[in-house]
Amino acid sequence: MRVVFDTNVLIAAFLTEGLCSVLLTRARRKEFELFVCPVILEEFEGILSHKIKAPQDLIAEALEVIREASETIHPTKKIQGICRDQDDDQILACALSVGADYLISGDKDLLEIGCFKRLKIISPREFEALFED
């Protein structure tokens, strides 16, 4: 299963010990293939640095955890005008470029799309439910 986490999922994984951190742990265990792109990593770093004001050593450590749990790709698809936020178009482009099955997000605008081409856009809770029997 090929998956992309939206930046907000990665931020939540590091700020709380909740569901998103459980999903990142699953990625680290290789229970699915997690992909990121430079846009996601840059946005993640920017939010931790400027909004959260996290120390640079902790940001570097968090980025290393993400890199170990995922594969970084450079999107080959161009997406424009699908989402209200242009950054969300870039997240979609990342997911489509790797042929992801799921884009996991807490962003209401993305979640409202629900499905784009063959990509399913679901919440962290819906994704975790796929692992429950």
The model's pTM:
0.92
Rounded mean pLDDT, 100-120: 93
- The residues near 71 (Cβ < 8 Å, ≥ 6 apart) are 33, 34, 35, 36
2-128 maps to CATH 3.40.50.1010: yes
**Domain-wise residue ranges, the chain:** 2-128
Cβ atoms of 78 and 93 within 8 Å: the answer is yes
- Is residue 111 scored above 80 in pLDDT? yes
Residue-wise pLDDT for 40-93, tens only, equals 999 999 999 999 999 999 999 999 999 999 999 998 877 766 766 677 788 999
CA 102 – CA 47 distance, rounded (Å): 23
Residue-wise pLDDT for 21-45, tens only, equals 999 999 999 999 999 999 999 999 9
